[in-house]
Amino acid sequence: MSGLVFFGPLVALVLVLLVMSVRILREYERGVVFTLGRYTGVKGPGLILLVPMVQQMVRVDQRTQVLDVPGQDVISRDNVSVRVSAVIYFRVVGPEPSVIQVEDYRQATSELAQTTLRSVLGRHDLDSMLSERDKLNNDIQAILDSQTEAWGVKVANVELKHIDLGENMVRVMARQAEAERERRAKVINAEGEEQAARKLLEAAQILAQQPEAMQLRYLSTLATIGQQNNSTIVFPFPTEFGALLRELGERVRA
């Protein structure tokens, strides 16, 4: 009985220490271990044992994380004020630097993304922001990835979500688009008139080579008019009579 009284608390203490020393890490987790405050390695996944009160562990999630960058007010290169929001996909590839080199890698990545977003977009005009999103995404991703590498963070992708314009700018762009459509319509109409004039000139040159061709064209027009169900009265006018009138006019002027 005295032995049970003596060894009972000791066994209980050993069991408590054993329970406190056991850690289970999932497949996507790693544990950064510190012994008396000094870094001693990365462990996991699976079952690991720590020395209670001597070793501490910080869990690090290595899954891809999604970070929603809040809307940022940006002044474009052509002095247009826009509000831009984005989303970032990143993951921890270095558990050690993500714990030792930065206090909160997620918060640090978020703040860096906001400043980078304003800096990169501020070097482009509004048309580039709207039409070259893929290029802007790649530029922002490359800058973030190079700066977060020291933290053990890999930025996999950056996507611009929204580019919000003010109501005044929306109306200005609508008027600009309308004016552009009117310009294109006028250009197309002018090109059609030019092509029609060229074709008419070519037809006149062909008809002028043979006067008989003009008579055939005249008779064809009369036949077309005669086939229509209308009340048009047609008086044939000989082309020779027109030539005779021109001759008389020239003699009178002479």
Model confidence at 179, pLDDT cuts 50, 70, 90, reads confident
pLDDT (mean) for 80-109: 92
Model confidence at 203, pLDDT cuts 50, 70, 90, reads confident
Higher pLDDT, 200 or 5: 200
Distances (CA, A) of 85 to 126, 185, 216: 15, 37, 72
**pLDDT over threshold 90, residue 151:** yes
- H-helix segments, 22-104: 95-100
pLDDT for res 64: 94
**pLDDT over threshold 70, residue 227:** no
pLDDT for res 112: 93
Q: For the chain, report the end-to-end CA distance as a whole number of angstroms.
A: 156
Q: Is-contact 77 124, C-beta < 8 A?
A: yes
Q: What is the dihedral of CA 223, 228, 233, 237, to 10 degrees?
A: -20
What is the chain's mean pLDDT, rounded? 81
pLDDT for res 222: 66
pLDDT (mean) for 172-176: 63
Q: What is the CB-side half-sphere exposure of residue 146 using CA atoms within 13 A?
A: 6
Higher pLDDT, 212 or 101: 101
**pLDDT over threshold 60, residue 170:** no
Highest mean pLDDT pick, 14-28, 75-89, 140-154, 169-183? 140-154
pLDDT for res 90: 95
* pTM, two decimal places: 0.64
**Structure confidence by residue, pLDDT tens digits, 10-52:** 666 667 777 778 888 999 999 999 999 899 999 989 888 888 8
State how far the Cα of 78 lies from the Cα of 140, in Å rounded to an integer.
20
**Structure confidence by residue, pLDDT tens digits, 240-254:** 666 676 777 777 776
Percentage of the chain beyond pLDDT 90 is 33
pLDDT (mean) for 142-149: 93
**pLDDT over threshold 80, residue 176:** no
Q: What is the dihedral of CA 194, 200, 202, 206, to 10 degrees?
A: 180
